[in-house]
Amino acid sequence: MESAAWSAMWRAQHRPMDERPFSKESLSRIWRFAKPYRSRIAIFVALSVVVAALAVATPLLAGDAINAITDNEAAAVVVRLALLIAAIAVAEAALGLVSRWFSARLGEDLIADLRTAVFDHVQSMPIAFFTRTRTGALVSRINNDVISAQSAFSSTLSGVVGNIVTLILTGAAMLTLSWEVTVAALVLLPIFMLPARRVGRRLAAMRREAADHNAAMNDQATERFSAPGATLVKLYGRPEEESRAFADRVRRVRDIGVRSAMLQTVFVTALTLVSALALALVYGLGGSLAVAGRLDTGAVVSLALLITRLYAPLTALASARVDIMSAVVAFDRVFEILGLKPLVSEPAKPVPTPEGPVAIEVDDVSFAYPSADQVSLASLEDVAVLDTRGGEPVIEGVSFRAEPGALVALVGPSGAGKSTLAQLLVRLYDVGEGSIRVGGVDVRDLAFQDLHTAVGLVTQDGHLFHTTIRENLVLGAPDATDEQVWEALERARLAELVATLPDGLDTVVGERGYRMSGGERQRLTIARLLLRAPRAVILDEATAHLDSANEAAVTAALAEALTERTAIVIAHRLSTVRAADLILVLEDGRVIERGRHSELLALGGRYAELYRTQFADEPAADAPATSS
């Protein structure tokens, strides 16, 4: 039995190991999170020391009680020692509860800080981060990994401190009772210490692998359980293949769990066996010394009780090392995200936006999307190595000015850079070269809140959160009254529909607004924009995927949104921009033509070609002018 146990441990230890799971930098970052609570940590450590000292006092008093009995001392002496042992037990239990409360509260506070820091940091990342990252893997970091890290403070910390103190005090007490027995018992100590490091590293590697598989499962579930994802799977995704892929990851996590549990169990069982052998040694050697008159009976009993207090902390510390390493692995995965530097950040000294109508100026702007290694992590993309190649320029030398209250249209083929330019205008990315100014102030000098209050963007997907109509609308105007909300809905041509819904403004729209039609979702996003009332509006193909009826309703809503505002409209359908004050034709990231509708038609260039393609059956000169 003993041979089989040690053989299994040897095989487990000699499997290939993962990279070192933590670094001094990780431990330093953990301490930076813990530093604000250092006074509470000091109290907790002091309590742990007192509890450990009380734990060592009991075996010594038990030995004194045995000596009092064998020496036929007065019963009062034995009773007094027994009462003292009982009082120490009560004090140890009470202080243990207080110490546990401190450790639990400390752990929960630290994890709350860490989780909040991760959430805030992720929100500061550029859009490129979210377009590359698997959502499930990201959620796994903020949930599973943070919860795993919690054990380092809520459970393991108290055990480590208490066991180290117990180990020191127990060793000192045993040496005072009998150095011969103590030295003989410690001969078995290397059997504890030698395998602990290797087993701990192997378990940490297993936990890391399991965390990766759990992140993959979360990602698959997050994508497939959304309404669009579930629809796609039913139509094209082969549910059997989806189930097989998910089950494969589940089995891998299961197998890792079994191997990890068996490795730890074999390790602890072997250490427990060695502890029992040490106890037998104490009884044998200590008893021999007592028979020879070199040691009293009470000392033998104290040594027997203390040896369990010596090897139990060693066993616990060996397991604690595994727990600490696993927790630090979880911290490491979280710190990977915190280590990503946001490409767009708040200015140190923001400049306020000027009052009144604002102009938007684009001055010789060039831009290329960042490479993967600048904005993402290989583990979040489920790839071995991130692509380090820089992006090709998608905007090159673009300049124009949208005067206050004017309408500027951006047109051109797909991939020309129109939507990218819109994202630069609201600073979802920073320009590579040149500058963008709102009201004469560079957008990089504006606080995010001020910029997005001054400039609003309506995208073509009309995204909504899984909450009520009211909460979706007041996202940018949290103090808006119901009267203001209904006014915005009226202007967005949606009030009549919302009024007919059973729950009215409290109707839940579903994930991504999936319970509403495309036109209804788009009009809700326009109502949200109207409620915030920005001074400049950017419309990124807001009617691109709508049928004729919905397009007419959305176009009417957009007319409200553009009234008396500086507007930049991106459109594929040229009929929506014929009344623009300035039309820019983009191709391959450059402005190749600019002018009014009639001027561009007369030029006979790329705009005229696009226009003839869309209105082949309609004479260009007679086409009615409508605004978007």
For residue 606, being part of any structural domain is answered with yes
User: Residue 402 pairs with which residues in a beta bridge?
Assistant: 360
Determine the Cα–Cα distance for residues 544 and 32; give it in Å rounded to an integer: 49
Nearest alpha-carbon partner for 150 in 113, 121, 205: 113
Lowest mean pLDDT among 189-193, 435-439, 522-526: 189-193
Give the pLDDT of residue 390.
Answer: 63
For residue 343, being part of any structural domain is answered with no
Which two three-digit tokens encode residue 451? Answer: 């910029």
Determine the Cα–Cα distance for residues 233 and 42; give it in Å rounded to an integer: 55
User: From start to end of 281-404, where are the E strands?
Assistant: 360-368, 393-402
For residue 628, being part of any structural domain is answered with no
Task: Say whether pLDDT at 553 is over 70.
Answer: no
Nearest alpha-carbon partner for 580 in 428, 458, 403, 378: 403
Determine the Cα–Cα distance for residues 148 and 428; give it in Å rounded to an integer: 33
SS3 letters across 80-138: HHHHHHHHHHHHHHHHHHHHHHHHHHHHHHHHHHHHHHHHHHHHCCCHHHHHHCCHHHH
What domain count does the chain have?
A: 2
- SS3 call for 349: coil
Kindly state the helix (H) or strand (E) to which residue 593 belongs, with its residue range. strand 590-595
- Of residues 94 and 560, the one with the higher pLDDT is 94
Give the pLDDT of residue 622.
Answer: 39
- Label residue 624 by pLDDT band (50, 70, 90): very low
Which two three-digit tokens encode residue 515? Answer: 């319970």
Residue 374: count other Cβ atoms within 10 Å of its Cβ: 17
Give the mean pLDDT of 148-174. 74
DSSP symbols for 198-217:
HHHHHHHHHHHHHHHHHHHH
For residue 167, being part of any structural domain is answered with yes
Q: What are phi and psi of 342, to 5 degrees?
A: -60, 135
Domain range for 539 is 360-375+391-622
Look up the pTM and report it.
Answer: 0.67
Residue 476: CATH number of its domain: 3.40.50.300
For residue 381, being part of any structural domain is answered with no
The answer on 405 and 331 residing in a single domain is no
Determine the Cα–Cα distance for residues 49 and 17; give it in Å rounded to an integer: 36
User: Residue 458 pairs with which residues in a beta bridge?
Assistant: 539
Determine the Cα–Cα distance for residues 217 and 377; give it in Å rounded to an integer: 18
Contact between 61 and 84 (Cβ < 8 Å): yes
Q: What are phi and psi of 336, to 5 degrees?
A: -55, -40
Residue 527: count other Cβ atoms within 10 Å of its Cβ: 28
Residues 6 or more apart whose CB falls under 8 angstroms from that of 186 comprise: none
Determine the Cα–Cα distance for residues 436 and 362; give it in Å rounded to an integer: 5
For residue 383, being part of any structural domain is answered with no
For residue 350, being part of any structural domain is answered with no
The answer on 551 and 447 residing in a single domain is yes
- SS3 call for 38: helix
The answer on 257 and 183 residing in a single domain is yes
Q: What is the pLDDT of residues 344-377, one digit of tens each?
A: 888 889 998 888 888 999 999 999 888 877 777 7
The answer on 397 and 279 residing in a single domain is no
Which two three-digit tokens encode residue 36? Answer: 């604000």
The answer on 231 and 172 residing in a single domain is yes
Which two three-digit tokens encode residue 43? Answer: 């109290």
The answer on 432 and 322 residing in a single domain is no
The answer on 327 and 458 residing in a single domain is no
Per DSSP bridges, beta strands 590-595 and 582-587 are: antiparallel
Give the pLDDT of residue 362.
Answer: 93
Burial tier of 228 (Cβ tally within 10 Å: 0-12, 13-18, 19+): exposed
Task: Say whether pLDDT at 7 is over 60.
Answer: no
The answer on 428 and 296 residing in a single domain is no
Which two three-digit tokens encode residue 284? Answer: 């044998």
The answer on 407 and 296 residing in a single domain is no
Residue 478: count other Cβ atoms within 10 Å of its Cβ: 7
Give the pLDDT of residue 388.
Answer: 64
Determine the Cα–Cα distance for residues 40 and 53; give it in Å rounded to an integer: 20
The answer on 305 and 269 residing in a single domain is yes
Q: What is the pLDDT of residues 416-468, one digit of tens each?
A: 888 889 989 989 889 989 999 999 999 999 998 899 888 988 877 777 888 88
What is the Cα gyration radius of the chain?
Answer: 35
The answer on 221 and 292 residing in a single domain is yes
Give the mean pLDDT of 315-344. 76
Which two three-digit tokens encode residue 554? Answer: 């959305």
Residue 105: CATH number of its domain: 1.20.1560.10
For residue 510, being part of any structural domain is answered with yes
Give the mean pLDDT of 192-206. 66
The answer on 395 and 280 residing in a single domain is no
- Of residues 165 and 349, the one with the higher pLDDT is 349
Give the mean pLDDT of 135-153. 72
